[in-house]
Structure 1
Amino acid sequence: MTTTGMHQRRETGGGGAWASSWTAFAAVMMIFGGVMAIFEGISAIAEDDVFVLTRNYAYNFNLTSWGWIHLSLGVLVILAGAALFTGAMWARVVGVVLAGLSMIANFMWLPYYPVWAIVLIAVDAFVIWALCVGISRQPRTE
């Protein structure tokens, strides 16, 4: 292999398969989290009697409106997760932003379904971590 070929390969792919595997992991986890958020939204919209409210909680919201928020956020998270398979940088940025918004929404969801919310907060934290780790560094000039 010539030095030109090695130089070109170093410029195009900073992380290689390692970075792309973290991106694929984040994409799959975003799709999973989006589907779970859609289930949250549908269950909150369809039946308000399914959830037991904790009394004297600092955040008191209408459950049906939270259902619509989770439903729409879940659809956006699924679309962003699918866009991550393209490997585009804008998909990473959108993925980090949407995972952060999903974390906030699930934190507010804690009084309605605490175990589900904690699991989705952990999934979103892994997504943010995987998307930030997978960003390739700029090559050093030698």
Structure 2
Amino acid sequence: MTTTGMHRGGAGSSTEGAWVAGWTAFAGVMMIFSGVMAIFQGIAAIAHDNDVFVLTNDYAYNFNLTSWGWIHLVLGVLVLLAGVAVFGGRTWARVVGIALAGLAMIANFMWLPYQPVWSIVLIALDAFVIWALCIGPRGTGRETRLD
């Protein structure tokens, strides 16, 4: 059966498994990237770098810039760590990654008045991360490593 590219259980072709592993690896890399960027956003907001942020007064979700800085800093560290854990191929890391990417989407939506274009880019990136983690390896009853 190995000459046809079928798994032992006949679950599908090896190219399908490689495709899924590729998207899961993409999700891990993008989580690491967005975590690092959120950390930088958080540091800049905590430092009140007014040259970087556009401050608006008429927004429904108006928070203190320092508070947003701490939110982004903590969320960024968590997303970064979850992104690294995704490379371990653990199911819990994918579930945590989906939850954190969802929280990051909400935080970036609320961050729109400060960095509108960057927030939209990160919302789209988080949507791709959620999709990639949701299509990850499943159905085998085993956890799959990506190394």
The TM-score range, normalised by the shorter chain, is 0.7 to 0.9
The corresponding residue for 2:38 is 37
Structure 1's unaligned 5+ residue stretches are: none
* Residue identity matched to 2:96: V
TM-score normalized with structure 2 length: 0.82
Q: How many residues align?
A: 135
How far is the alpha carbon of 1:47 from its aligned partner?
Answer: 2.1
The corresponding residue for 1:22 is 23
Structure 2's unaligned 5+ residue stretches are: 142-147
Equivalent-residue separation in structure 1 for 2:49 and 2:66 (angstroms): 7
**Structure 1 residues 7 and 68, CA, compared in 2 at 3 Å: closer, same or farther?**
closer
The percent identity for this pair of structures is 72
Deviates more, 1:87-96 or 1:39-48: 39-48
Contact 2:17/2:137 (<8 A) preserved? no
Q: What is the aligned-residue RMSD (CA, Å)? A: 2.3
Deviates more, 1:128-137 or 1:113-122: 128-137
The corresponding residue for 1:119 is 121
The corresponding residue for 1:128 is 130
Deviations 1:85-116 (A, max 9, x none): 01110010000000000000001100111111
Equivalent-residue separation in structure 1 for 2:84 and 2:30 (angstroms): 10
The corresponding residue for 2:108 is 106
Contact 1:19/1:135 (<8 A) preserved? yes
Deviates more, 1:43-52 or 1:61-70: 43-52
- SS where residue 93 of structure 1 aligns? helix
TM-score normalized with structure 1 length: 0.85
Contact 2:101/2:130 (<8 A) preserved? yes
- 5 Å-filtered alignment, 1:49-68, equals 49-50=50-51, 51-68=53-70
